[in-house]
Structure 1
């Protein structure tokens, strides 16, 4: 069974403060050109997307420089939708939430459900919880492939969590959705972006296979 974890990319959709809203502009028409196509204008970090290490680490790898195997792997999904606004996801709580049989290490993807995908476009959206530095350090030391979350970010300025994870080439997936369907399960995660030269990140079609 496959679960789509991707927000629809559309004009005017919610974006992280300071980012431009995407535009989808019709370029050709059936009745004029005999075929239909659009031109896309969007920030690299729009909708469901992945952050490459170069997003925060000068000189680090960009989307096209990463091994393609970094964009998929075995996943575990944990539920922190019970946290209050701006709550903190701590290491001990994370370890208690892990499903049985999750022996995390290289090749794994950790998916964290906050439930904040349902608030996209509202004021509450930016009240998302954050990962603690202790948890980020733990995940980075495990050498996992990526951390994914169903909110706009795993942290706030000065973005310490981004720097901890990306500094160890642990990719970050943001604005995932439908993680409630994965909690307590183990399967395969796929989130491949376009191979953009020099890309600091890019939209993905994120999918889980159970």
Structure 2
């Protein structure tokens, strides 16, 4: 049973967490969502309506890899864990370090390298530690509808810089728990729908139990360090799960 002191400690912990700034870095799921082609956009249809049933409820059709989501190892590794087999706290209250890569003006099909990651870490005043979530801000929001360099809706998911093999090796060697990004596939390099490489998915990340979180928004407003908070849905034999991701900072 919890003691009076333990209860007080939990109360103080909750108070401290509520005093942190919460950055909601997840997009809204809906038919206008930018996705990774050829994945379908989320769709909802009315199952019950106030006028007819006295209550309202919807039925959703959502691809596992929609919006901000996490890839399970099984996505690429036949022997890897599925979403429902992952520990419930696998992305819960983990320290994150944000790599601001936007100043390099990364281009589709041109992977970001190890040296750029190391320079971004130096600018951010941090070094990666075991168990961190590496958050990659490519500045990709600018290409979304309403962004400063908005493109047609399908462009965002068909174009991304990705990561070089030495960049993936640098992150994996640091012992990170996960890598997260504001593009549709983090390490995958793609231009106008043509794939070039995905060394993290195939070799450095998922095969080593390092999770991949994709499709974040609003990273430019987030400080370099903080706490990463998200919970995957418990989808039976799932290859991925949508997430509501909060980045907590002082």
SS at match of 2:108: coil
What residue is the counterpart of 2:113 in the other structure? 90
Describe the shift of the 1:24–1:124 C-alpha distance in structure 2 as closer, same or farther (beyond 3 A). closer
Cα contact 1:143–1:168 (8 A) shared by 2: no
Equivalent of 1:113 in 116, 137, 142: 137
SS of the residue corresponding to residue 70 of structure 2 reads: strand
| Distance change >3 Å, CA 174–CA 9, structure 1 → 2 | same
Between structure 1 and structure 2, the one with the greater Rg is 2
Any conservation in 1 of the 2:68–2:242 contact (CA below 8 Å)? yes
Indicate whether 1:104 and 2:136 are aligned.
Answer: no
What is the number of residues matched between the two proteins?
A: 208
Match of 1:9 in 2: 29
Find out whether 1:20 has 2:40 as its counterpart: yes
Partner Cα distance (1:55, 1:83) in 2: 26
Change (3 A) 1:66 1:134: same
**Which residue number in structure 1 is paired with residue 14 of structure 2?**
none
Equivalent position of 2:178 in the other structure: 146
Return 5+ residue gaps in structure 2 as ranges: 1-20, 145-152, 190-194
Confirm whether residue 30 of structure 1 aligns to residue 50 of structure 2: yes
Output the CA distance in 2 between the equivalents of 1:30 and 1:127: 42
Greater length-normalized contact order (CA 8 Å, ≥ 6 residues apart): 1
Q: 1:55 to 1:105 in 2, by over 3 A?
A: same
Tell whether the 8 Å contact from 2:229 to 2:245 is kept in structure 1 after alignment. Answer: yes
User: What SS is found at the alignment partner of 1:131?
Assistant: coil
RMSD of aligned Cα (Å): 1.7
SS of residue paired to 2:170: helix
Shift of 1:22: 1.5
Measure the CA separation in 2 of the matches of 1:103 and 1:160.
Answer: 20
Give the aligned partner of residue 177 of structure 1.
217
In structure 2, distance between residues paired with 1:124 and 1:23 = 19
Closer, same or farther: CA 97–12 of 1 in aligned 2, 3 Å: closer
Q: CA deviation at 1:12?
A: 4.2
- Report the TM-score when normalising by structure 2: 0.78
* Kept in 2: contact 1:63–1:196 (CA 8 A): yes
Aligned residue in 1 for 2:9? none
Structure 1 residue runs of 4 or more that deviate by more than 6 Å after TM superposition: none
Q: Distance in 1 between matches of 2:156 and 2:66?
A: 19
